[in-house]
Structure 1
Amino acid sequence: REMAKRVDFISVGSNDLTQYLLAVDRNNARVAGLYDSLHPAMLRMLLRVVEGGHGAGVEVSICGEMASDPLAVILLIAMGFDTLSMNSASLPRVKWLIRNFSIATARKILAEVLEFEHPAEIRLHLQKALEEEGLAGLIRVGQT
């Protein structure tokens, strides 16, 4: 929050933040399996960044793989990110999700997953939520 008082905006690079927060080099095959942007520590950190930024009246945006991942987008909109920055190919899918997923449901899901301890639990919970909303087709084929 202290830093947020000194800046005009905050932009989170989710790929780098995940790598540094989890101390996992995503390009190292021996540990790349530990890299997961849905890790509970990552989600708690992102929520703190948004709360701190908004508490100081600063807009908070996010870029990187999370901003284009439908599972993560549910949580990002619930957290209150002002802007999601992604490649243009991902835009239609993310836009569709945001227009068709209730913010109230997203907030409920966020509260639930913040209690989980493992990224796999979070991912499964989010996949089930998309299925229940009839939006399972938004998940990339082969994504786990």
Structure 2
Amino acid sequence: MRERREIFGDQSLDPKVEIDSPSLEYLSVYDYKPKSFSIHSISPSAKVNIDVMFDFEDEDEDDPLERTRIRDFLRGISTVWEIIISARTLKVIKAFSQFESLPQFSNLSRLDASFVGSTLELLPTFLGCCPNLKSLLMVPSHLPMFM
């Protein structure tokens, strides 16, 4: 899926997404490459389905601005009860974790994660941030990851 900004060459078509909804119980973001995506407030009992990409894929390249975007994004979802996360989002989190510690996901009880071989290495680090995790479903991803 091509992004609108790629099709039309117009950066204004990539809005700044900010979510501030303390009563929000379900959030699904799929196939989105945010220029700016932050969650300020979401219900602690929320279920979040995340499949987003960032311009931070390579563990050898450090982009402080992109790190800030990812850090803000992770802090926003770190308060929820359940997360379903894609392999390509885990790949970005893995690259980010080479530079910074992941936030604590203290409220996370259920995690459904798709993974490819390289993201499996992140599992011990990620699980260490989830002290109250009760359910873990790991699904190998056989789909090509286009980034």
For normalisation by structure 1, the TM-score amounts to 0.35
The one of the two structures with greater contact order (alpha-carbon pairs below 8 A, sep at least 6) is 1
Say which structure is richer in strand.
2
TM-score by length of 2: 0.34
Higher helix share: 1
